[in-house]
Every structure is written in structure tokens, then in C-alpha cells.
Amino acid sequence: MTEQALQITARGARAEAEAAARALDDHPVTEAATYSILEEDEAREIWRIDAFPTSSAEAEIIEALLRGFDLRVASEALADADWLAMALSGLPPVRAGRFFVYGAHDRGLAPASTVNLRIEAGAAFGTGHHGTTVGCLSAYDALLKARRFHKVLDVGAGTGVLAIAAARTGSRLAVGSDIDRPSVRIAGENARLNRARVRFVHASGLGHPTLRAGAPYDLVFANILAPPLVALAQDIRGALKPGGIAILSGLLRAQERRVFAAYRSRGFRVLRRLHRDAWSTLVLQRP
């Protein structure tokens, strides 16, 4: 972590905020940074980026990038306490189709009629509140109305919420991977909390023996970022059965064309596009 944990906030018009978010994605130092983008004030058309650098060098680069756009940028030192857990404790539960995602502080609110997923974030990404995670769960819920997915892979699993959702809705095999070792541990803990049979492995890409052993998959989730989505297009195609489904997110609406071009060139067709805030989720089918 940085010597003092920081939150960097930038506010401005949507076009400027989205352009700044793309710059964060594309910079080699900040492409894995934790940040969110959302509409803060609909009436005034103000959008906000919140970034949480993991080092002082990353903080300097993020702030410099954001100040290159027409945005009001400010940074705030956070207490040395577990600031992420404190922030998450105030988040409400999330409903996405049949799925209800909640934290320990809301365990008493889970309805009896939904697939209830208790997800504790720790230091991992993917509580269910982010537009990309909600988009993936909503897309998956819609697909489940017509078919079942026996073998599911979650690339960039974060807290494991997507793989856990698959295991809880009948997938015989659900596996997940992440490049961040703490996320792999947290995802495993969440699987145990939800009594879900999911195996998570530390891996970059799809070359890990556990991931290869499960292929071909009926469904691949990849809720990561636009550059790795493009880079993994051929590997994701190879991991899917013919006719298999890929649910891709972690990309901004403005990045849809770039990401889809990489998959269209490999024969994929679009089944559905979902938009939430500035984020996009693509549901694609392998030929």
C-alpha cells in the first residue's frame, strides 16, 4: 500500500470522465488500478471517477493522468484502518435478476425467493455493486431462462461472485482464476461461505492446467478490462465449446467496438448488450 492510503476523485462531464477512464485502462502502470466511474448528478450531468492507488508512484501517475482532462481532481488521505471494509459496510445489497448479493452487515435482508450470495470483498474486486458485475449477473440470469451451463469458467474472478453464482445455479464444474493472489484466497473463502463447489487458481491467462483440464466450457465469464479482453479473444474462443457463450465486461461503452472487433474476427456474434452507468457488458456466442 502507499505510505498513506489515498482516494483520488475526479468530477466532470461524461465524455471527459470516460476518456480519463480509458487513459487509466491503457496506461501500463495504472491498467490494473482499482477505480470506479459513475453518474454522480444526473440533473447537472456530472460524472465521477474514484481511484484507489496501491503505491505512491501509482498515485502520482493517476493524478497526473486525470489532470490531463477537463475534470476537477482532488485527493484525500484515508485512515489507516481497513478503509475498504469500512466503505463496503455502507453499501446496500444488490438485486440482479434472481441473484441477491449482500455482505455480512445485510445478512438479515436476504429474501427467501432469490439466489442469495454473501460476498465479502476484503481486498478483492467484485462485490456486486459495480456496474460490470451487475451486468454480468443480469446477463447470466437472462440466459438461465433458456438453458443451463454445466461447465463455467470465470476469468479474473475477483471475489468469485460470478463463479459462485454459476455453482449455485446448477453448474457441475465452476472454476475461476485471478492474477492477484489475495483475490484467489478471498474468492475461496466466499465459496465456502456460500457452500459452493468452486475451485479458484492463481493464473494469468487461460494456460493454467486446472483451467485447461475443464475445457471446453459452456460459458466463460471475463469481467476484466478492455485491453486484456482483446488480448484473450483467441484463448477464450479456444476455451469454449462450439455454440458456447462468453459474457465480457470491465469495458466502457466507448470501448465496445474495439473489444467486439477482436471477437467478431474470430466468428463470435452478439446476442445482447447491457449498459449500466458508463459500463458495458457483451454477451457473445462462439460459432
Question: pLDDT of 73-114, one tens digit each?
Answer: 998 876 544 444 544 444 568 889 999 998 776 667 778 899
The confidence band for 209, taking pLDDT boundaries of 50, 70 and 90, is very high
3-class DSSP string for the chain: CCCCCEEEEEEECHHHHHHHHHHHHHCCCCCCCEEEEEEEECCCCEEEEEEECCCHHHHHHHHHHHHCCCCEEEEEECCCCCHHHHHHCCCCCEEECCEEEECHHHHHHCCCCCEEEECCCCCCCCCCCCHHHHHHHHHHHHHHCCCCCCEEEEECCCCCHHHHHHHHCCCCEEEEEECCHHHHHHHHHHHHHCCCCCEEEECCCCCCHHHHHHCCEEEEEEECCHHHHHHCHHHHHHHEEEEEEEEEEEEEHHHHHHHHHHHHCCCCEEEEEEEECCEEEEEEECC
Looking at mean pLDDT, say which of 32-46, 79-93, 115-129, 209-223 comes out highest.
Answer: 209-223
Task: Evaluate if residue 181 carries a pLDDT over 80.
Answer: yes
Q: Are the C-beta atoms of residues 11 and 71 closer than 8 Å to each other?
A: yes
pLDDT score for 31: 55
Mean pLDDT, to the nearest integer, of 241-266? 94
The CATH code for residues 119-285 is 3.40.50.150
Better-scored residue on pLDDT, 182 or 31:
182
Average model confidence (pLDDT) for the chain?
86
CATH 3.40.640.10 fits 6-80, yes or no: no
Confidence (pTM): 0.73
pLDDT of residue 251: 87
Q: Any idea where the domains of the chain sit in the sequence?
A: 6-80, 119-285
CB of 198 closer than 8 Å to CB of 211: no
CA distance 37 to 39: 7
Q: Which backbone phi and psi does 82 adopt, to 5 degrees?
A: -75, 85
* pLDDT at position 208 over 60: yes
| Proportion of the chain above pLDDT 70, given as a percent | 86
Determine how many CB atoms are found less than 10 A away from the CB of residue 184: 22
- pLDDT given for residue 2 in this prediction: 40
For 140-180, the pLDDT digits (tens) are: 999 999 999 999 999 999 889 999 999 999 999 999 999 88
Q: What is the pLDDT of residue 51?
A: 83
- For position 89, what pLDDT does the model report? 47
Is the pLDDT reported for residue 116 higher than 50? Answer: yes
10 Å CB burial of residue 95 (0-12, 13-18, 19+) is middle
Lowest mean pLDDT among 6-10, 38-42, 64-68: 38-42
Answer whether residue 123 shows pLDDT above 60. Answer: no
Quote the CA–CA distance of 214 and 239 in Å, as a whole number.
9
Higher pLDDT, 140 or 41: 140
| 196 band by pLDDT with thresholds 50, 70 and 90 | very high
